[in-house]
Structure 1
Amino acid sequence: LIFRPNVLARGLVKKKTNTIGVVIPDVIYPFFTEVIHGIETLANESDHKIILCYSGSKQEKEAEYVNMLLEQRVEGIIIAPLADNRNIKIFKRLIQDGFPLVFVDRRLDEVNGSYVVTDNAKGAYKAVRHLVKLGHKRILLLTTGTKISTVQSYLEGYKKALAKGNLSYRESLIKRCEETEAGENRLFLGYNIMKSFLLKKPHFTAVFATDDNFAVGAIKAVKEKELRVPEDIAVVGFDDLPFSSFVDPPLTSVMQQKYEMGEKAVKTLIEIVKKDDVQLRKILLEPKLVIRQSCGGGARIK
């Protein structure tokens, strides 16, 4: 990606466009649907329009869309950056040149920028701590294989909850779903990895899946082995997607403030634009554990 000085230099943009660029990796996953809803609602209320770009989890498309948005003279960009990102230099350059940029849902450790994300470490801690309190000592972590901030945070919270319960961390109980394509059916990913893992007759009594789709897929695999949820294996998911309460049994899940995440991303971006400063805004949203029947507890929110 080649930057054009007249595009990046904010001082040359004399006329406000009232337009915000949004770049996300996945339009199929319900999580981003709610985030986008929050972005668009507040943008409209603030007399702004959005240009929505879908990178398809491809680095090249992400870079192309960022450049296109700059050429469209957007006032700022909200982006959910990809894992193992090769566009880090682009983001650093944008921030260095004072261009308003806000990361949403995930951040990049190598880039010191503004972001609005869930406190995923705390969410993972709440989920695993709940399972530990229910008496589970060997808890399988079902997550993705990407090296993105969210995944690292899940692992941090998982380890902290185990340590709190005086339980040992075992690498053998970490199973990673490798996503090869954007929008690949995560239900099947969770199902397939759990099915293959159950063939090994592993010793675990609970599963913490960092995605509700992984969790639902895992439940199907467990049932096919004629095991019961939660009596034989308890399951907890993450995101609290709309279908989670309709699963059999209803899925315990960590609720993210998805709509609010989108709203706060817009508020943060507009604040940066109006104040025309480089002060970083780092916002962590509080997760809540919604307890349903998949882990053996009655329905309630913690």
Structure 2
Amino acid sequence: MKQTKQSTQTATIREIARRADVSIASVSRALNGKPGLSDALRERILTISREVSYQPSAAARQLISGKAAVVGISLGRQDIELRPYYILLYQHLTVALHQQGMVPIFFHHDQTAELPERAGAAILLGETAEDERPTLLSAAGIPFVRIGNAGDGFSVAPDDAAGLYEITQYLLALGRRRLAFVGGELETPCPHSRLEGYRRALEEVGLAEQLISLPHRLSSDSLTSYRYLNRYLAGISSGQPLPFDALVCATDELALGCVAALEDRGIDVPSQVAVTGFDDLPTLATGLTTIRQDIASIAAMSVELLGEALAGKAPRHVSLPVALVLRETG
């Protein structure tokens, strides 16, 4: 059957895998001439690819041979794989990379030195001010994309500052005047775009900031915020007014812990204290007023930028829009 122009343009290895009833990895091996398939299966996959007029994107052509087809996804030093945000991001990155014929493998922060031996490109998560990974990868000639704030090289991130500015403005419009920002290690001298958005909104109306800085723990962020805020509330004398009427949290996970601590202390959310988050994570954010970021779009843009990096194009930062989601807690 003759393929239309539109179907030709949109054919991907996912469609080939579906028609051949094989995994995406098998399609990738066949298209890239890799071992591990029978001659008959390889020929069947190649026949289907011709039938759908499959043509790899510019990014895939850059990654079509050898080690270059492998992309290392590198986690930050203080991050853990089991965080719901990273699980969701991993899922979308894996799909986006497979759709371009790329093979993702995962690296912990302390495995960065091994990455150039096993991968031809990288996507970096959880970058901090003192992060050595960009320097190490640049010295090794490994193209990479950062998911984080703008800086040297290629990067992509949600518009954190705009999101926190909007949600802080929303709370101010409700009449909240004692807004505290809840985040991790806020005393550390490094860019914190979500905190910047909160500060800008308060400065415009002449209100002072309040910061609740949480210690870093290799555990659930929700558990950390619950324990910290619970102890904080226990230190407030009976009858003494709360120092805040809204908690602007850096993530949904932190917000959920705060909501639980407030409720366990008999403090009504949101009539006494509003609580907001950021991310709009599936299931976790149910009932939570938050800022939604499009994680699937972040993953897709990361892969697009990776193709540009491998093609030697000029580095750029892409800031993706976010949206305010109103629910019960704020």
TM-score (normalised: structure 2): 0.72
Task: Tell me which residue corresponds to 2:70.
Answer: 19
The question of whether the paired residues in 2 share the 8 Å contact of 1:20 and 1:48 is answered with: yes
Q: Deviations over 1:157-211 (max 9, x none)?
A: 00111123x13223xx200111132xx1111211122222223253211111111
5+ long unaligned stretches in structure 1 = 1-13, 56-60, 296-302
| Cα RMSD, aligned residues only | 2.2
Residue type at the aligned position of 2:137: L
Of 103, 107, 113, which residue of structure 1 is paired with 2:146? 103
Task: Tell me which residue corresponds to 2:31.
Answer: none
Of 245, 253, 270, which residue of structure 2 is paired with 1:213? 253
Of 254, 262, 266, which residue of structure 2 is paired with 1:226? 266
User: Does residue 1:124 correspond to 2:164, yes or no?
Assistant: yes
C-alpha displacement of 1:255: 0.9
Task: Tell me which residue corresponds to 1:177.
Answer: 214
User: Does residue 1:76 correspond to 2:117, yes or no?
Assistant: no
Distance 1:223 1:15 in 2: 55
The question of whether the paired residues in 2 share the 8 Å contact of 1:82 and 1:148 is answered with: no
SS at match of 1:243: coil
Task: Tell me which residue corresponds to 2:225.
Answer: 190
Structure 1 residues 114 and 96: alpha-carbon distance in aligned structure 2, compared to 1, 3 A threshold: farther
SS at match of 1:228: coil
The question of whether the paired residues in 2 share the 8 Å contact of 1:188 and 1:217 is answered with: yes
SS at match of 2:319: strand
Task: Tell me which residue corresponds to 2:282.
Answer: 242
Q: Deviations over 1:95-136 (max 9, x none)?
A: 3665311101x2485xx1211111111111111111001110
5+ long unaligned stretches in structure 2 = 1-64
Greater displacement, 91-100 / 129-138: 91-100
Count of residues paired in the alignment: 257
Q: Deviations over 1:26-79 (max 9, x none)?
A: 211111122112211121111111111233xxxxx1xxx22212012x221101
Task: Tell me which residue corresponds to 2:292.
Answer: 255
State how 1:140-151 maps to structure 2 within 5 Å. Answer: 140-145=180-185, 147=188
Of 41, 55, 60, which residue of structure 1 is paired with 2:95? 41
Distance 1:78 1:143 in 2: 24
Distance 2:292 2:123 in 1: 22
Task: Tell me which residue corresponds to 1:203.
Answer: 243
Report the structure, 1 or 2, having the larger strand content.
1
Task: Tell me which residue corresponds to 2:154.
Answer: 114
User: Does residue 1:292 correspond to 2:327, yes or no?
Assistant: yes
SS at match of 2:301: helix
SS at match of 1:242: coil
Higher radius of gyration, 1 or 2: 2
The question of whether the paired residues in 2 share the 8 Å contact of 1:83 and 1:148 is answered with: no
Task: Tell me which residue corresponds to 1:268.
Answer: 305
Of 132, 135, 142, which residue of structure 2 is paired with 1:92? 135
Residue type at the aligned position of 1:102: V
SS at match of 2:276: strand
Residue type at the aligned position of 2:262: V
Distance 2:269 2:130 in 1: 38
